[in-house]
Amino acid sequence: MSSAPEPAKKSRFSRQPKDPNNPGRLSQFATLWKASIKQNPLIPLWMAAAFIVVFLVVTFLLHLIFDSYIYTGIIGIIFGLLAALIVFGRLAERAAYGALDGQAGGTSAVLQGLRRGWYYEQEPVAAEAGRARKMSELSNAAMVFRAVGKPGVVLIGEGPSGAARKLLESERKRVSRVAGAEVPVHLLRVGAGDDTVKVGELTKTMNKLDKKLTDAEVQAVNKRLRALGATKPPIPKGMDPRNAPRMDRKALRGR
């Protein structure tokens, strides 16, 4: 009587199938590279310039100490590659911000770059669709996002000027009633006008605000505001301002 064949044993070194939801570092870097080059085609030139300059400077300085072209050349290449990667990271971040400029919900993606100590809402705390009736007209929607940190409460408006100002003022009154008159409330509006802040400079502007609250006060204010909820007038069907674009922070860090 013949026995059933034994199942083939899997090798310890057999390759595991790739998880489409968890791309590797090279895949993340390739995606970031393509997106950055599309936004700024001069990135390779800046990287090459950084590599050459740093390589020549490091090699020259080390050669004054070590009488070996091979040793100094290897060290120069390492520092040159490091400089090129640093330049790429900075330019890729600028390109990512540039891609978000003028995009509905871009504020939510930018807030992900805030330093520790900030609490922010990924969803808009107030929204007004205006005359928008479909996804292609989502740029006409005014939205307000909220962040809480040591400077106090920061409300960021985006969208049409008139509607955004109205929403900001309305939300400022709601926040002041809940947080208290002693908590500063800052109003910012992203855009390209004289009284606006560029998307790429939003986090820098927020971090420069004067610090008024302690860590404990920040947590207490954030807790009260989260209990406040959000004011979101009806949005046309198929339009969800919560579906904001996201910046791949892991890819920017090379993780």
User: Tens digits of per-residue pLDDT, 186-234?
Assistant: 999 887 777 888 877 888 888 899 998 999 999 999 998 888 765 554 4
What does the pLDDT read at residue 32? 74
> Which two tokens mark 56?
């020549």
The single-letter code of the amino acid at 238 is G
pLDDT of residue 238: 47
Secondary structure letter of residue 85 according to DSSP = H
Q: Using pLDDT thresholds of 50, 70 and 90, give the confidence band for residue 251.
A: very low
pTM above 0.75, yes or no: no
DSSP structure class, residue 42 = T
Task: Quick: pLDDT tens for 97-145.
Answer: 776 666 666 777 778 778 788 998 888 888 876 554 444 455 567 889 9
Write down the domain spans for the chain: 25-100, 106-242
The whole-number pLDDT of residue 103 equals 66
Mean pLDDT of the 12-24 span:
54
Please, what's the largest Cα pairwise distance for the chain?
89
Judge whether residue 249 has pLDDT over 50: no
| Residue whose C-alpha is closest to residue 155's, from 117, 114, 188, 121 | 188
Between helix 69-100 and helix 43-63 the angle, nearest 10°, is 150
Tally of helices (H runs) and strands (E runs) in the chain: 8, 5
pLDDT tens digits for range 221-247: 999 888 876 555 444 444 444 454 555
How far, rounded to the nearest angstrom, does the alpha carbon of residue 179 sit from its chain's CA centroid?
27
